[in-house]
Structure 1
Amino acid sequence: MTTLKKIPTQSLRVGMYVDKFCGSWLQHPFWSKKVLVEDTKTLNTILQSSVAEVIIDVSKGLDVEAAAQSDVQASVEAPSEVEIAMAEVEAASASASAPSDRVIRASMADEVRRAQQIFRKGKQAVKDIFKDVRLGKAVETEGLQHLVNEMNLSLSRNPQALISVARIKSKDEYTYLHSVAVAALMVGMARLCDMSEEQVLEAGMAGLLHDMGKAVMPEAVLNKPGKLTDAEFAIMRSHPVEGHKLLLDWDGVPEAVLDVCLHHHEKMDGTGYPERLGGEGISQLARMGAICDVYDAITSNRPYKAGWDPAESLSRMASWQGHFDPVLFKLFVRMLGIYPVGSLVRLQSERLGVVIEQSGNSLLTPKVSVFYSARLKQALPITVIDLADEQETYRIISRESPEDWPFKHLDQLWLPN
């Protein structure tokens, strides 16, 4: 006799064992398709999702009749805690789930502050996942979908803030914040590619989990402050395969997420790894992942090197023939700007400044915080100029490498206090 029963999600009760969530993986809040509803928190999480039906296993948990019998003990007149929670969630989510064209635009400064909070939460979430993997514990991924949704909303309010904050990290934070940064960049690219809402979420999830294999790399190699030996480099090159193996053990991970994890180090000319795929043999999402992964890696401070300037990084990436999909790379540049936020630039007036915000009209006319005279070799009073302003006669004539100048903490010129 079968022990499996399909029931409406609203009939779920504490003590039941969910053998399967019906519907898309993105609709339910757990990586595993099987979960014991052992407390009201777990129950509320499922009820607050958009899953309409579940399959329960009555051999491992309560049957419908048993749960109904226990419910008799409660008053049928008063709403349950679950019903109250659901009513509150539905009321709160009515505006949160509104179409993106209704999202109110936010200033750069305001959205940067929200973006910093997103990255703090994201860092802790990825850190916890890595810790669970290393300890061989069941991985808790609750909240990752909500995190990607927050990124999507942030990019709706201001398309520059989140991807600009993504670059800011110390060498000690790199392992964890890199995954959050790549997720933010992937969500931004997916939006520019006019992908569906579900595909945007998958792109963000793929970014968050693309480096899961690093959780099983030796920490002495992963965080080594110097150059890796050939043997150590070979170990690190195994992380896409190891990450793919890990995710295969997690029930219901979308094929797109698995694909990006395994193939984000492939190159268009077929010289990448682990499978030496090339051209159209690499999925679009994996080609996007390759761009986002490399950009964040080379612009970030890492244990063995300081990050490059954003504009310099884009210039170098553009010169790597055969590495990236050229169409997607142009889209990536369009998203960041030719001079991304945080870039050090020289104006025709021989003044130096840091790009603090992009212009909606042209990639060549951002807002710049001017602070130094290259001719006089002295600091100037900080002045913000909008190169898109018709009254502004000066233009950017070159990008500058911060390594050639004695400046420290350039990001303070655009990050809010």
Structure 2
Amino acid sequence: MLKTVLVKDVRMGMYICALKGAWIDHPYWRTNFVLNDQTELQKLQQSRVNEVVIDVQQGLDVAPAEITPALNSENTETPENAISPRQLTSQSQQVPFEIEQAQAAKIIASSRREIASMFSDVRMGRTIAVDSVLPIVEEIAASVARNMHALVSLVRLKTIDDCVYMHSIAVCALMTALARALGLSEDEVKQAGLAGLMHDVGKAEIPLEILNKPGALTEKEFGVVRHHPRLGHQLLTAAGITDQVTLDVCLHHHEKVDGSGYPDKLHAEQISLFAKMGAVCDVYDAVTSTRAYKHAWEPGIALKRMASWEGHFDMDIFKAFVRGMGIYPVGTVVILKSGRLAVVVRQTAESLLTPVVKVFFSTRSKLQIPVEEVDLSKDQDEITGNESAETWGLGNVDHLWAIPT
């Protein structure tokens, strides 16, 4: 049972599963832990956090004399843009996809404004204020922990005008998801998220006429773009950012394990774990997003093609990425044994091969059919391969699974 309590009533032995308020106001990188250190309790009491959410099934409750109706989670009101305490996750719980998708849409909208402002400041010669982006990392990481697929799938939906900003948010989300899939610590998850958010900051110093060019870049123009890792590294250093993971991912997310990447042509053993993670996340979001010069690849098709690129990625890391995303990520269009086209709307716990889909078109009659949700883990129909809605002249089918961001 989850319960919201005042910080003054927190005591040793409580299981903390959320801290109310902005991440920058509290002293922890993590949530979901048993409070068993007096020093940590003092840090919490001295912070600007007023309330926390505890799980009384995994730790101590408030002392009986201190319980009041106003603090019971069933009576606690939450802001419009917040997940209620009853929906927050413990280590073994997940928020349903549809619920988290609504929260993720709000997080994406607010994060986009902050990142756009940061890029604008850099173009005007102002120093990056890293404190302003740390709360973004916290909110994105928390959303991914509640339900990885909600925010990660929504952030793929970009316009050509905001693809640079949204790409930073997407890579942040993908990095935190991959860090969890790899079993990294909570601190490392947040480090990965911050590195993902800042990895492309160097593009703020690339001329907009090159970044937004509708056609293929010339060799000279591509040479300019290839400078963005070093430019980003210089900007972060000038801002006083000393986190080595953030600096390294910014500088080396375009390295390849066969040594053909840039800017330093590092080989596999020379590339850090986080930079290898950044390479996978950066490419996946790039190829599954519509750009001025190309259409987006279907997510499932993207994973299949990326798996075939010899010498590009660390394959152990890439396999962990696929396990986290699913072989058929949310938004993937597939063809079923029945001849129907469907779009993946949720993953199931049973198998990566049996997601929940919405069928919408018959390839045999070449007609649209009533949209129906089918859980393939409980149905005799099955996926036979990836498809493209455009191949069948159906256009965009994102409305079948995504809410507006």
Q: What range is the shorter-chain TM-score in?
A: 0.7 to 0.9
Give the Cα–Cα distance (whole angstroms) in 1 for the partners of residues 24 and 361 of structure 2.
57
Report deviation, 1:221. Answer: 0.5
Match of 1:92 in 2: 51
Distance 1:217 1:416, change over 3 A: closer
Match of 1:216 in 2: 205
Write out per-residue CA displacement over residues 132-166 of structure 1, whole angstroms, 9 at most, x where no aligned residue.
Answer: 11111233343422211112221222121111112
Report deviation, 1:172. Answer: 1.3
Query: Which has the larger Rg?
Result: 1
TM-score using structure 1 length:
0.77
1:371 to 360, 368, 384: 360
Tell me if 1:267 matches 2:256: yes
Residue pair 2:23, 2:135 contacting (<8 A) in 1 also: no
2:101 to 112, 130, 136: 112
Write out per-residue CA displacement over residues 322-357 of structure 1, whole angstroms, 9 at most, x where no aligned residue.
Answer: 100000101111111111111111111101110111
Give the Cα–Cα distance (whole angstroms) in 1 for the partners of residues 344 and 171 of structure 2.
21
TM-score using structure 2 length:
0.79
Residue pair 1:365, 1:388 contacting (<8 A) in 2 also: yes
Give the Cα–Cα distance (whole angstroms) in 1 for the partners of residues 50 and 223 of structure 2.
52
Write out per-residue CA displacement over residues 17-41 of structure 1, whole angstroms, 9 at most, x where no aligned residue.
Answer: xxxxxxxxxxxxxxxxxxxxxxxxx
Tell me if 1:198 matches 2:157: no
In terms of mean alpha carbon deviation, does 227-236 or 150-159 score higher?
Answer: 150-159
1:396 to 356, 377, 383: 383
Match of 1:41 in 2: none
Residue pair 1:217, 1:239 contacting (<8 A) in 2 also: yes
Percent of pairs with identical residues: 43
Give the aligned residue type for 2:201.
M
Distance 1:136 1:143, change over 3 A: closer
Segments of 4+ moved more than 2 angstroms: 44-51, 86-96, 98-105, 138-143
Report deviation, 1:102. Answer: 5.4
Q: Secondary structure at the match of 2:49?
A: helix
Report deviation, 1:250. Answer: 1.5
1:348 to 331, 337, 340: 337
Give the aligned residue type for 1:388.
S
Report deviation, 1:88. Answer: 9.4
Match of 1:166 in 2: 155
In terms of mean alpha carbon deviation, does 287-296 or 197-206 score higher?
Answer: 197-206
Match of 1:132 in 2: 121
Give the Cα–Cα distance (whole angstroms) in 1 for the partners of residues 235 and 51 of structure 2.
35
Tell me if 1:405 matches 2:364: no
Give the Cα–Cα distance (whole angstroms) in 1 for the partners of residues 209 and 221 of structure 2.
10
Aligned residues: 337
Report deviation, 1:94. Answer: 5.2
2:321 to 324, 327, 332: 332
Distance 1:274 1:88, change over 3 A: closer
Q: Secondary structure at the match of 1:172?
A: helix
Q: Secondary structure at the match of 1:160?
A: helix
Residue pair 2:22, 2:135 contacting (<8 A) in 1 also: no
Write out per-residue CA displacement over residues 245-303 of structure 1, whole angstroms, 9 at most, x where no aligned residue.
Answer: 11111214301100000000000100000000011210000000000000000000111
Tell me if 1:50 matches 2:27: yes
Write out per-residue CA displacement over residues 195-216 of structure 1, whole angstroms, 9 at most, x where no aligned residue.
Answer: 1221111100000100011000
2:291 to 283, 302, 305: 302
Match of 1:316 in 2: 305
Report deviation, 1:91. Answer: 2.4
Give the Cα–Cα distance (whole angstroms) in 2 for the partners of residues 372 and 45 of structure 1.
45
Residue pair 1:103, 1:157 contacting (<8 A) in 2 also: no
* RMSD over equivalenced CA pairs, Å: 2.3
Residue pair 2:23, 2:134 contacting (<8 A) in 1 also: no
Q: Secondary structure at the match of 1:105?
A: coil
Report deviation, 1:409. Answer: 2.5
Residue pair 2:25, 2:47 contacting (<8 A) in 1 also: no
Report deviation, 1:416. Answer: 3.6
Match of 1:60 in 2: none
Match of 2:16 in 1: none
Unaligned runs of at least 5 residues, structure 1 = 1-43, 52-85
Give the aligned residue type for 1:393.
Q
Match of 1:15 in 2: none
Match of 2:111 in 1: 122
Give the Cα–Cα distance (whole angstroms) in 1 for the partners of residues 22 and 278 of structure 2.
30
Q: Secondary structure at the match of 1:354?
A: strand
Match of 1:25 in 2: none
Residue pair 1:103, 1:156 contacting (<8 A) in 2 also: no
Distance 1:176 1:316, change over 3 A: same
Match of 2:75 in 1: none
Q: Secondary structure at the match of 1:415?
A: coil
Q: Secondary structure at the match of 1:393?
A: coil
Match of 1:178 in 2: 167
